[in-house]
Amino acid sequence: MIIPGYVKNLIFDLDGVLWNSSQMHDFAYNKIFEKYKFKPIAYSALAGKKTFDVISEIIFNETGKVDHDLAKKITIEKQLYSSTLLEQKPPLHKNLNTTLNQLKEKYSLCLATSSSKKNTEIFLKKSRTGNLFDFIITSEDVKFAKPHPEIYLNLINRINFSTNQNIVIEDSLNGITAAKKANLKCIGVIGTHTKDCLLKAGAYSVIERLESLCH
């Protein structure tokens, strides 16, 4: 079995795990970067980080200056753009609802995402899965983004399970690193990164489809 018998709670990342939003975020980021004449960058290098942190880092790399006001402005633009794309064409995985309902019969389910609250709400609405998650933490609920472990430590403090009774499901290297720092075991999902990259980052197992968690 992929999930050990002693596990009681599954903690899901959102982007790249529960829906295939990576391409949309990549498109949105680079559209914004093009507007401000910043160099394009692959989303795989950004996955798991807060949008504001990404934008701030890009501005510094491009200009050599820290400009929080500009970072806030661009962050709002990017989030509005990506939210519009996700709302218009939600990239839900096939059989997602069925898979999560099957898992809910056996486990508690939680969501810990670096995505915005708005994008998370779009996902929950479009997937009709909001009633399946016992706890949900988004980027607005933490100060530090992945690979910092705050989001997972925050969640662990809210639930009634010991650390080893939880499994994290992640697709990004930053997410896996955050889980490891919180002493949580992690299953990697192929998509943003290859199987070898996920295993090297610290995932103890790697899957291609969420349905594999049910077997």
- What three-state secondary structure class fits 167? strand
Question: pLDDT tens-digit profile of 112-146?
Answer: 998 889 999 999 999 999 999 999 999 999 999 89
Phi, psi values for residue 124, rounded to 5° = -60, -40
CA separation, residue 109 to residues 10, 25, 139 (Å)? 5, 25, 18
Do residues 196 and 151 both lie within one domain? yes
Instruction: Report which secondary-structure segment, H or E, holds 170.
Output: strand 166-170
Do residues 77 and 106 both lie within one domain? no
Asked whether the CA dihedral 75, 78, 81, 85 is positive or negative, the reply is negative
What is the per-residue pLDDT for 21?
A: 82
Do residues 74 and 116 both lie within one domain? no
The CA radius of gyration of the chain, in Å to the nearest whole number, is 17
For residue 4, being part of any structural domain is answered with no
Q: Binning pLDDT at 50, 70 and 90, where does residue 71 land?
A: very high
Do residues 102 and 160 both lie within one domain? yes
* Predicted TM-score (pTM) of this structure: 0.87
Do residues 82 and 96 both lie within one domain? no
Do residues 28 and 81 both lie within one domain? yes
Q: Which residue's structure tokens are 């093009």? A: 34
Predicted confidence (pLDDT) at residue 16 exceeds the cutoff of 80: yes
Which residues form the domain of 77? Answer: 22-88
Q: Distance between CA atoms of 151 and 158, rounded to whole angstroms?
A: 11
Do residues 134 and 81 both lie within one domain? no
Residue 168's closest CA among 207, 127, 139? 207
Q: Binning pLDDT at 50, 70 and 90, where does residue 164 land?
A: very high
**Side-by-side strand order, sheet with 108-112:** 135-137, 108-112, 9-12, 166-170, 185-189, 205-207
The tokens describing 39, both together, are 């160099």
For residue 1, being part of any structural domain is answered with no
- Choose between 20 and 185: higher pLDDT: 185
